[in-house]
Amino acid sequence: MKSRAKTEKETKMEILEYIKTMRNYWIDLPSKSLKERMNGIIFSILVMFDGESDLPAMDIVIRPHEDDRDYNEKYDTNWFPDGLILEDGDLHNLWGEYRK
């Protein structure tokens, strides 16, 4: 069989399988507190996005509601720019510092 690019459906299934595997791993650690297990699954999912699992790195693209900027300007608050790409692969390291 000739090599080919994975389909969108195959990619989604691999992502879900990874998350399911990590969920099962963290559920089966009864010596860990609920907080430790929750932090573990969050960390594992961020590792996946950052490309440090068996899956490639994934960019996160910010897509706010079309009215977001106008709403936030009205209340003098900051908004998310459409199309902002989080791609530095550092979310799992940031979580290690942030979760405390």
Q: How far apart are the first and last CA of the chain?
A: 49
CB of 52 closer than 8 Å to CB of 92: yes
Q: Which of 42, 33, 25 is closest to 99 using CA atoms?
A: 42
Within 10 Å of residue 26's Cβ, how many Cβ atoms?
18
Give per-residue pLDDT as tens, 32-82. 999 999 999 999 999 999 999 999 999 999 999 999 999 999 999 999 999
pTM of the model: 0.87
Q: DSSP secondary-structure letter at 56?
A: P
Give per-residue pLDDT as tens, 1-18. 899 999 999 999 999 999
Q: DSSP secondary-structure letter at 85?
A: E
User: Two tokens at 83?
Assistant: 């199309």
The residue type at 65: H
